[in-house]
Amino acid sequence: MTSSSVTSIHSRDNAFVKDLRRLAQDSTAYRKQGRVWLEGDHLCRAALARGQRAAIAVYSESFWPQAQMEYAQAAPKTIVLADALWADISGLESPAHMGFVVELPQAPALQPGVATVVLDRLQDAGNVGSILRSASAFGFGQIAALKGTAALWAPKVLRAGMGAHFALRLVEGLALEDLDGLGVPLLATSSHEGEFLHRAALPWPCAWTLGHEGQGVSEALEARARQRIRIAQPGGEESLNVGAAAAICLHASAAARDLAQGT
């Protein structure tokens, strides 16, 4: 099952190992290298299931025998790393020491008329990944990340996104004015103002905006929104986790759409 392109590496100073270490540990290294690092069995399978192809498959030496059975021909190039090097690169305690290097898709432009999630300076990689996952689940096709948002293809975002990256159009580094091209109504989540989500009529397609973990959606962005929407919190908490708020809003759009179609 092995092909002629299998390379074993034992040196920390190998150029590929250095690049891979940067990809795995530096959240914006993908921009320089033009490729991303998917680590672990679950994430790699999710990417394959969405038709994504690996450029390079990377396995630890001790995982390599199993990899030859489970991942035969997963990529045109295979690299087998000495176990000691693996520990040096990976931050995961995954039992399967494997990962794929994938070519970063060409940065797309915003597509008008598409149901979109706008990220306004979100900081936490876990939150961003979880929102991408919810967006994909609820039929949103595009993510518009404003400048100051965490890097969308960072390894931690990829892990939390669990493959959603490969089902979405991801546009980064946008200015506020770029959103004018969306052509769908902006809905701003607010903690204190606007209509309650569960009583609101929601347009489709739309663009939900989600704001910075501490500061929420900026005033300038809120001013561009057609509706401000808040989530009723009878328990009296002042702020949900933004990933939780996103899930609730995006689901509400999908539910409203389904109910409108069904009646």
260 contributes a contact to a second copy by CB under 8 A: no
- Report yes or no: 75 and 56 within 8 Å, Cβ to Cβ: yes
Tell me how far the alpha carbon of residue 203 is from its chain's centroid. 25
166 contributes a contact to a second copy by CB under 8 A: no
Shortest Å, Cβ 167 to a second copy: 7
171 contributes a contact to a second copy by CB under 8 A: no
* Nearer CB in complex with a second copy: 105/126: 126
DSSP symbols for 95-113: SS-EEEEEEPPPPPPPPTT
139 contributes a contact to a second copy by CB under 8 A: yes
* Nearer CB in complex with a second copy: 82/254: 254
Binding residues with a second copy: total (CB under 8 A): 40
Question: Sign of torsion, CA 28 34 40 41?
Answer: positive
117 contributes a contact to a second copy by CB under 8 A: no
> Other C-beta atoms within 10 Å of 77: how many?
15
The Cα–Cα gap between 151 and 28 comes to 6
Q: Which member of 59, 138, 153, 208 binds a second copy (CB under 8 A)?
A: 138
Q: Which member of 164, 188, 206, 229 binds a second copy (CB under 8 A)?
A: 164
DSSP symbols for 29-76: HHHHHSEEEEESHHHHHHHHHTT---SEEEEETTTHHHHHHHSTTSSS
Shortest Å, Cβ 239 to a second copy: 8
The Cα–Cα gap between 65 and 262 comes to 51
215 contributes a contact to a second copy by CB under 8 A: no
246 contributes a contact to a second copy by CB under 8 A: yes
The Cα–Cα gap between 234 and 241 comes to 16
43 contributes a contact to a second copy by CB under 8 A: no
Shortest Å, Cβ 185 to a second copy: 19
114 contributes a contact to a second copy by CB under 8 A: no
Interface ranges with a second copy (CB under 8 A):
126, 130, 133-140, 160, 162, 164, 167, 196-199, 231-237, 239-241, 243-248, 251, 254-255, 257-259
